[in-house]
Every structure is written in structure tokens, then in C-alpha cells.
Structure 1
Amino acid sequence: MFAINVLPGTIHLLELKAILQGLIPARKNNMADIWVESDSLVAVNVVLKNYKCPWKGIPTLAKIYKCMAESNSWRISHTWREANSVADFLSKTNCDVNGDDLSIESAPPILLDLMAQDSSGAIYTRL
């Protein structure tokens, strides 16, 4: 798990930064095939070049492309927030962290439950 406090900005720029923060450890761990899922359809479309990137996001987008270019293959797709419950929980929690990995030992029970559901292949429905 990873969380970081960010300065105010548009949600789309924050979503691009979140994608980059997920790619950095993937590249550091030499993961050859990368599949990014984001619950931000706008961010996915910016990475896929279906939407223009806001000028403030261009440096982050360049870093995303650099990380992806270093992999054997990559893809990015949209997922609904309900299927991204761990990330959704973390985004709504006031984490006092500074770019550090969060330890499982200090995770609240509800987050552990969400992770267990996610790893068990639970089916999520939209209401």
C-alpha cells in the first residue's frame, strides 16, 4: 500500500500523480508487464492520448510514459471506484504519511477487510 499527502490541485492532475506513484515501484521491482487500473476515466484517457493533458500535468505524463516505455508491455484501463475499494478508502482517509509504504501491521481493520475481499476476487456491484 502506498499513500501520500498532496498539495491542492485539480483532481485530474492528482490522478496522474497517483498513476505515476504506482508505476515507480513497479519499475524499481523490474516488473516487465504492467497493467494500470484507475478509477479516473479522464486520467486513463489522458494517458491513452484520447484527451489533451492539462499543461501542468505534462511533466507527470512524460514520467508515466518513461516508466511504461521501460516495460515489456503495458496497458491502462478504467475501473469503477467500487472495484478499487482500497485506493478509494485511502483517498478518503487523512493519512499522515509522506510517500512511505504503509505497513500492514498498522492498517486499520476495515482496510484489511477491503484488501482481503479484493485479493479473494470478490465481485463488486454498482448501486
Structure 2
Amino acid sequence: MRFLSFWDSPDSRKFQISVNFNYKHNIHPLSAKICKWNLPVLGELKLNTDASLSNEGGGIGGLIRNHFGEVACFFSMNVLKEEIYILEIRAICEGVAAASRLGIRHLWIEADSSFAVDVFNEKSQTPWRSITKFDTAKAYLDGIQWKISHIWREANSAVDYLSKRDCPCKGEDIPLDNIPVPLSEILKNDAEGKEYQKL
């Protein structure tokens, strides 16, 4: 530790500043994590969901794929503006409703919202504005074999695309021949096990 002195003109007031010349700052370089979308097992279908917010409002999206990565159904909906965690829960509920319409009995759900995953795993309390939709979804899930897990946003890009308000396809259970080209590319990459970097 040394002291530096200087004169502050025009008052000629003297200040002393203590400077630690032995200070060492540890800099850790950012390391990228590798993540990818994983195929479900044979006989299981996988539901991925996401939500987004913009100045215009909210959007939710989801799709269900089989063990080959083939799409069973998908949806993209514009919704009223809400807190993002409410929309994330709603996206899962809409996806479960789609799974119910398809009669799916073995479902793996993935979402990039840790809070929404915790709500369905009963580790966090269900927000009161989501209780009705949550209870309906949970009633169906309780009658089938299911699980829910977190996925990094970078590996959840297919439904991130579907959740945007400017997504070119809108509605529930959109015909499979109406898959936009950008989404088709993401689906192909996912099915082939493309790895994504998360910083």
C-alpha cells in the first residue's frame, strides 16, 4: 500500500489517496456450454413450448414431435399481454390440450422457463391467474405417463420461432403442410442432433 499526494488548485487543498498496487483482479473467460434438443424415446412424444412479449402483446407457441423428430402437431397464437411467466405457463397448458386432443399417453414436456417447469413439478406455487388452465392441464397429465424438464433457450429455438407475434402461421393444430421454411430448417437441425452454444 502506497499513498499518492496531489495538490488541488486553486485552494491548494492537499489530498491523500491510498492505492493498493498489489491488487489482482481475477478474470475468468466466458466459457460456452453445449446444448441440443434431444429426441424422445420410442413410444414417447415430446412437447416443447415457449412464450414471448413485444410492445404489441404476447405470443405463445408449441410443437409435439416423435422419436424421429417428426412433427405431430404445432400451434402459434397471439395472446393478450401478460407477465412472461404467466404466458410460459399458458403455453404449456395449450400444448397439453393439444396432446389431449391427440390422445397422447406418454408425454415429455420441455420449456425454457425454469419457473413454469417448477410450477408443474409442484416446486413453486401456481400463480392465481393460471390456476384454471393449470388445473385443466394437470387433470389430463395425472391420467397419463409424463414428465417435464428445463431446456436452454438456444436449444428451444423451434418454439421460440412459433411464439413470435410475427410468425407467419397462426392457430391451433396447424396443418403439417403449412410449416414455414425457417421452422423446417430448425426442425431438421434438431432431429439431426445439432449442437448449440450457450454462453
Determine if the TM-score, normalized by the shorter chain, exceeds 0.5.
Answer: yes
RMSD: 1.8
Instruction: Report the 3-state secondary structure (helix = DSSP H, G, I; strand = E; otherwise coil) of the residue aligned with 2:110.
Output: strand
Counting aligned pairs with the same residue, the percent is 35
Q: Which structure features the higher share of helix residues?
A: 1
Q: For residue 28 of structure 2, what is the aligned residue in structure 1?
A: none
Q: Which stretch of the first structure deviates more once superposed, 74-83 or 99-108?
A: 99-108
Q: For residue 113 of structure 1, what is the aligned residue in structure 2?
A: 185
The whole-number CA distance in structure 2 between the counterparts of 1:101 and 1:95 is 15
The Cα shift of 1:78 comes to 0.5
Q: Which has the larger radius of gyration?
A: 2
**Which deviations, in whole Å up to 9, do the C-alpha atoms of 1:66-119 show, x marking residues without a partner?**
120121x11000001111110111223413665333345444322211111012
**Which deviations, in whole Å up to 9, do the C-alpha atoms of 1:12-71 show, x marking residues without a partner?**
111111101111121222211111000111100111111111111111210121120121
Q: For residue 83 of structure 1, what is the aligned residue in structure 2?
A: 155
**Equivalent pairs, count:** 126
What TM-score do the two structures reach when normalised by structure 1? 0.87
114 and 96 in structure 1: CA distance in 2 versus 1, 3 angstrom threshold = closer
Alignment of 1:94-105 (within 5 A): 94-95=166-167, 99-105=171-177
Q: For residue 22 of structure 1, what is the aligned residue in structure 2?
A: 95
The whole-number CA distance in structure 2 between the counterparts of 1:31 and 1:96 is 27
Unmatched 5+ stretches in structure 1: none
8 A contact 2:106–2:146 mirrored in 1? yes
From 87, 107, 110, the counterpart of 1:37: 110
What TM-score do the two structures reach when normalised by structure 2? 0.58
Unmatched 5+ stretches in structure 2: 1-73
Q: Which structure features the higher share of strand residues?
A: 2
The Cα shift of 1:11 comes to 0.9
The whole-number CA distance in structure 2 between the counterparts of 1:76 and 1:16 is 12
59 and 36 in structure 1: CA distance in 2 versus 1, 3 angstrom threshold = same
